[in-house]
Structure 1
């Protein structure tokens, strides 16, 4: 006998999904704080350690490359122990390495310790996105993804101005690392105490989940409910399955070529070097931009879900593409035009934040729509690895091109122009996405007839 509908506000496995989402949002928000310390405080860090502009690109790039390698490895580990355990370690307790980075005495030590920190934090993104798909059905994933990444915006809104103030304190960049690491560890302990994994595929098959066994992990049997395999191990066969999807391959290219993330790394130092604001003044754009990113994620997730209901074959992708085009135009105005006051740059960075905030509510559900529940964590690990590789390549290129040709020229070609080209490239995703999402919905309906309506709401 099929289980009845879950009460309002509860997850498929009987847990309250929004409370679980809040914990996960706080966790991955703190994972982003370590890179925020480097980006926002780089002018002060550069002066303290005598670093060239290219050092910022190297610090970010090496960390992202490390995450590209370790992200899938953390996912594989989670398939052998539990997703919760890996999250607590990789995205929580791993914050001790951020604290250690604050003790660095030279550039080499900072590079090594920040890279180790990034290698651990890479495990959070793939696992959290996979868990999100298990907490919410297709009709609510856009909004849920938006709220998930809104936590990152809240963090940056608080941390940005604080880091700007630390830039005026002797060795303030060290305190930034100390604070980031300590709060990361605290969130890891909160997840250890209060998070409950819903179980792999819980949203597609509400009769299956971890509710009956709060300690269950992704690879453990779901005692007390119908048997269902856990997340598929990331191996050659799974990778071959994922790469057989044209949509997946095109998304990997799009995420690799995404230049919006490079702007996160270079935004403050750009205002310092090109428009000659001091570090504290330049960092004033961080909080408003983060708040606007919060608005973009929360509002964008709801808009995307509504557009998807009206245009079920193209709604999310079309919204994502238009937001990407708009971001390119706003970036052109923010980086290539000299405005008379920091206030105008604050407004333009806010526009960038809103438009970038649409991304999670679009691309995460799109990837979920073309991958089986058992392969989603693996799919996100591969996608985030491609994203990290692209972020690393773009920041490294901007750092060295900025030193050679000027930061303004480097950002024009390697951020603005490439972003606009990437938006046009996304046109190629429309046809395979429509075909593959329909095929997966049909297969899911055949396997779990009760949940097919939820997938097509």
Structure 2
């Protein structure tokens, strides 16, 4: 039986897997930390037009800041996951958030582009660590059929917080040196969030939410040692490889970096208004993420093993179609852009409740941290860096609108077509994981 299909019988550990201690409190703490980390990491994109005027920068500088921050995250992500295996996930989550806050504070004191670039790059390398660790913790806290809901709540919370913080960021933009005050404020909040992890977070054991292992004591659960060879072996999992390639083609990442700048430079909207117009993106994202999280289990029952793939594929193709009409034509009403941004956000919001559980279902528990690190901090980072650098350079010649046509429209449709491979590979790979966990249970019980 594959890991995503409805169970034909109740496993002995099903009850324990569905009720991991402290899982909802942990989810709340991790959501709060991620809100702060993501807001700080993306703050430069939001306030850049005002910052650019103060330091005499342009879109090329924004692309370079975003690109170097992502490049620094490539080794940083796997390093933080490795460190979590040595000192524990709670200590590592604290370290990443506090360190990121300190570099955010330093960025607020920047007097020129070089100083700003160094601080923002180090800040990005610090806060990236919480992402793969958080995804692995969620997988260890919720069984397969509940992971879509948990991820939906997690990412929905992030976007709702972004909606609330949007007007706050707009208020900072209106102040003299407001971008500095924004960095200082968020840096301090980031440090506070790290201390919150120490006080409230309780780590689940690796593999605690697997029905084959949940009723066994932590020390009785057999685990394979994580080695360089086993991490490299992740790429022998066809579904995982396709997900990595898809990440490289994820052109929708560009809307986060250049969305506000596009509205300001290409459509003549003021920085403060553009921030507010982009808020519907977060609303659409939140509604879709939460909705998908609760609906996906029903889709799984209707289309075992393949329902997730269909949702993921449609999300990419619909994004490309909507981006075409939303970015390639000029509209006089701000409300029209708000509507398109909401639809784009909805398409992007369909991804996390689907793609995270897909990866978790095809990777063994002890390797999920590194699997997420490679996916979210290496492959996604490479995509961000390439898109940021190319977009920043090409924007000077063909404009951001032209860049959006190739990246947000054409590339996203290609991405959606690539995912068709998962209809074949995903059922097979989930079946292999289920068989391995069944074997481990038999080993544990026979000892």
Query: Under a length normalisation based on structure 2, what TM-score does the superposition of the two structures give?
Result: 0.92
Contact 1:207 1:226 in 2 (8 A): no
Q: Residue 448 in 1 paired to residue 441 in 2?
A: yes
**Shift of residue 298 of structure 1?**
0.9
Which of residues 285, 292, 303 is equivalent to 1:311?
303
- The 1:162–1:286 alpha-carbon spacing in structure 2 relative to 1, beyond 3 Å, is farther
- Separation in structure 2 between the aligned mates of residue 229 and residue 109 of structure 1, nearest angstrom: 48
Task: Report SS of the residue matched to 1:339.
Answer: coil
CA contact (8 A) 1:199 1:208 kept: no
Separation in 2, partners of 1:178, 1:38: 12
Q: Tell me, yes or no, if the aligned pair for 2:45 and 2:258 is still in contact at 8 Å.
A: yes
Give the equivalent residue in structure 2 for 1:300. Answer: 292
**Distance between the aligned counterparts of 1:263 and 1:429, measured in 2?**
26
SS at match of 1:276: coil
Give the Cα–Cα distance (whole angstroms) in 1 for the partners of residues 275 and 309 of structure 2.
Answer: 33
Cα distance, 1:441 vs structure 2: 1.6
Conserved? CA contact 1:161–1:286, under 8 Å: no
1:324–1:423 CA contact under 8 A, matched in 2: yes
Match of 1:219 in 2: none
Q: Please tell me whether the aligned partners of residues 79 and 231 of structure 1 are also in contact (alpha carbons under 8 angstroms).
A: no
1:5 CA drift (Å):
2.9
User: Is it true that 1:369 corresponds to 2:377 in the alignment?
Assistant: no
Q: Does 1:207 align with 2:199?
A: no
CA distance in 2, matches of 1:103, 1:20: 34
Counterpart-to-counterpart distance in 1, 2:44 and 2:329 = 26
Kindly state the Cα deviation for residue 133 of structure 1 after the two structures are TM-superposed: 0.6
Tell me if the contact between 1:79 and 1:232 (Cα under 8 Å) persists in the aligned partners.
no
Distance 2:54 2:48 in 1: 10
Do the aligned partners of 1:325 and 1:423 also contact (CA within 8 Å) in 2? yes
Count of residues in Structure 1 that have an aligned counterpart in Structure 2? 429
Per-residue deviation at 1:110? 0.5
Structure with the bigger RCO (C-alpha within 8 Å, sep 6+) is 2
Hey, what does 2:237 align to over in structure 1?
245
Matches of 1:92 and 1:320, distance apart in 2? 34
Aligned with 1:53 (options 59, 84, 103): 59
Tell me the alpha carbon deviations over residues 69-117 of structure 1, each in whole angstroms, 9 at most, x when there is no partner.
1100111111111011000110245311111111111110000001101
Unaligned runs of 5+ in 1: 210-224, 450-457
Match of 1:399 in 2: 392
Q: TM-score, normalised by structure 1?
A: 0.90
The one of 258, 261, 268 aligned to 1:269:
261
The 5-angstrom pairing of residues 178-189 of structure 1 reads 178-189=184-195
Shift of 1:7: 10
2:426 equivalent to 1:418: no
The separation in 1 between residues aligned to 2:23 and 2:286, in whole angstroms, is 19
- Counterpart position of 2:424: 431
| Cα offset, 1:179, TM superposition | 1.9
Cα gap change, 1:336/1:7 in structure 2, threshold over 3 Å: closer, same or farther?
closer
8 Å CA contact 1:250–1:429 kept in 2: the answer is yes
* Aligned equivalents of 1:168, 1:139: Cα separation in 2: 46
1:159 and 1:436, CA in 2 relative to 1: closer, same or farther beyond 3 A? same
Give the 5 Å matches for 1:140-219.
140-204=146-210, 205-207=213-215
* 1:12-411 superposed matches below 5 A: 15-204=21-210, 205-207=213-215, 225-228=218-221, 232-233=225-226, 235-384=227-376, 385-411=378-404
* Inter-partner Cα distance in structure 2 for 1:395 and 1:304: 32
* Residues 130-151 of structure 1: CA deviation (Å, up to 9, x unaligned): 0101000001011111111112
Provide the rounded CA distance (Å) in 2 between the counterparts of 1:232 and 1:435: 24
Q: 2: CA distance between counterparts of 1:319 and 1:125?
A: 23
Which structure 2 residue ranges, 5 or more long, are not aligned? 1-11, 443-447
| Conservation of the 8 A alpha-carbon contact between 1:398 and 1:410 | yes
Give the Cα–Cα distance (whole angstroms) in 1 for the partners of residues 235 and 401 of structure 2: 37
